[in-house]
Amino acid sequence: MNGLLAARDNGERKWMYPLIRKGTYYKWRSLLSYVYLVLFFCGPFIKIKGQPLLLLNVIDRHFVILGQVFWPQDIYLFMLASLVLIVCIVLFTVAFGRIFCGWICPQTIFMEMVFRKIEVWIEGDGNKQKKLNAAAWDKEKIRKKVIKHGLFLLVSFLIANTFLAYIIGRESLLKIILEPISLHWVGFSSACVFTIVFYMVYSQVRELVCTVICPYGRLQGVLMDEHTLVVAYNEVRGEPRGKLDKTGLIVKGDCVDCSLCVAVCPTGIDIRNGTQMECTNCTACIDACDEVMDKIHKPRNLIGYFSEDMVRSKKKPSLNLRMIGYSSVITIIMLVLCYFIFSRTDMDITIMRGSGMLYQEQPHRFISNIYNADITNKANFSRTVTLKAEDPDIKIQYIQPPGIITKGNDIKIVFFVLIPGSKIHSFKTDVRLQLISGNKVIQTVTTEFVAPINN
Ligand code: SF4
Ligand code: SF4
């Protein structure tokens, strides 16, 4: 039956009018969505050490994550982060199914916690919306539709601008807003296109994003198994479905076949038919069924978080060893990635001994080696840098001095290291060189110095 409920027999799309039940899960999801929305809309205004919280400027290839600046030179970290993300998604899905979709996915949060709430506020619950859509166009219907779509456009415009701020930075966005449009045609057009895209997604496409378009949803079938924790119906307890008899007693299983779980489902499926690809684990059916169970004085959780295995073996929902194991692996991988990200310096230097002559004898019994260095400035500002040997007796002579390195750029320098002959005790000597910017030692590197030992 997968997908069939989203379409009528004639192939037309079946529009969803889900009812809302404000149960325990709905309240927790609402709370989480408020935190999420505050973070999303305030994100462009939050700065960490002068850097934005998040900036994904693909145009200038400049990225900032949690105040850490990344340039194209850090591509290896992005590759690593992408790999880690893929591994985490796979492990997380194997253990916890589509929990991400129901609780954290921006599509679900904006659809169910923003646009759906606006819709219910203006047009009423699912049944009233259906009635309104079927009714002839009168003043009331026009008024409601104009207000609803006006608000949808307004919220889409806000989302589009915030989204743009994460790409081009809030300063550039403010310029687009405050300066004449003629100076910012590209930026202004992008804001308009994003607004229309978001408006179409949340007013028209809606649940089809999760059930048809999203590739993650399509992957569920191969990632989940009988041990995966998902929103599921406890058929052992619920079947055979029955109605209450005249005395108020259930004559069969605990499911009274009221269909409320189907009426609240935003993707229009019946969870009693088993785990389905269209289920976003939004928990609406859990809340609905809990409400029914309360009314008929039966224990809650006829629909709840279960694995197939738990239902069959009549075990209570709990974290099994596999879930704990996968969660631990995800945590360790994430910690390693964080270590790589936060332990990186915002300058990098690579020093290589020059090819050709191994060493040169210089006046006053100094021996010199020639080096090439590549210095990268990963900070978001220009820097003046210089090199210095840790040992004050060792001198540096530049052929090509460093000077200023602009943000996100690198320079190449060539220099001699001169060591007094009296300090040479072996053919190869380790020399420690400091990269200095603004009287601060940014990095110390050890390089090899070659000289004859008869000095
Ligand atoms: S809400 Fe619960 S009792 Fe009602 S049909 Fe669904 S599973 Fe059965
Ligand atoms: S079946 Fe339940 S959890 Fe799945 S999408 Fe429908 S209401 Fe949400």
Q: How many CB atoms lie within 10 A of CB 44?
A: 24
pTM above 0.85, yes or no: no
Reported as half-sphere exposure (CB side, CA atoms, 13 A), residue 107 has a value of: 20
Which ligand is located closest to the Cα atom of residue 269? 2
Sorted by where each starts, the structural domains of the chain and their CATH numbers stand as 24-221+324-335 (no CATH), 229-313 (no CATH), 347-450 (2.60.40.10)
Burial class (CB in 10 A: 0-12, 13-18, 19+), 319: exposed
pLDDT of residue 319: 66
**Residue 20 CB–ligand 1 contact under 6 Å:** no
**Residue 271 CB–ligand 2 contact under 6 Å:** yes
CA 409 / ligand 1 centre spacing (Å) = 62
Q: 289 near 229, Cβ under 8 Å?
A: no
**Residue 6 CB–ligand 2 contact under 6 Å:** no
Which ligand is located closest to the Cα atom of residue 264? 2
Q: 354 near 372, Cβ under 8 Å?
A: yes
Reported as half-sphere exposure (CB side, CA atoms, 13 A), residue 450 has a value of: 12
pLDDT of residue 3: 41
pLDDT of residue 5: 47
**Which residue has the least CA distance to atom 3 on ligand 1?**
255
pLDDT of residue 7: 57
Distance, CA of 168 to CA of 171 (rounded, Å): 8
**Residue 330 CB–ligand 2 contact under 6 Å:** no
**Residue 302 CB–ligand 1 contact under 6 Å:** yes
Q: Using the atom order of ligand 2, give the atom closest to the CA of residue 282.
A: 8
pLDDT of residue 263: 96
Parallel, antiparallel, or unpaired: how do β-strands 54-57 and 230-233 relate? Answer: unpaired
pLDDT of residue 2: 40
Which ligand is located closest to the Cα atom of residue 256? 1
**Which residue has the least CA distance to atom 3 on ligand 2?**
281
CA 206 / ligand 1 centre spacing (Å) = 25
pLDDT of residue 455: 55
CA 188 / ligand 2 centre spacing (Å) = 38
Distance, CA of 87 to CA of 25 (rounded, Å): 28
Q: Using the atom order of ligand 1, give the atom closest to the CA of residue 262.
A: 6
Record the tokens describing residue 37, joined without a space.
């929305």
Q: Using the atom order of ligand 2, give the atom closest to the CA of residue 286.
A: 2
- pLDDT tens, per residue, the chain with 455 residues: 344 445 566 667 889 999 999 999 999 999 999 999 999 999 888 888 778 888 888 877 778 887 777 777 777 777 878 878 888 888 888 888 888 899 999 999 999 999 999 999 999 999 999 999 999 999 999 999 999 999 999 999 999 999 999 999 888 898 888 888 888 898 889 999 999 999 999 999 999 999 889 988 888 778 888 888 899 999 999 988 877 666 655 567 899 999 999 999 999 999 999 888 889 999 999 999 999 999 988 999 999 998 888 888 877 666 667 778 777 888 888 888 888 777 777 788 889 988 777 889 888 889 999 999 999 887 778 888 899 999 999 999 998 788 888 877 888 899 999 999 888 888 888 999 999 988 888 889 999 999 887 65
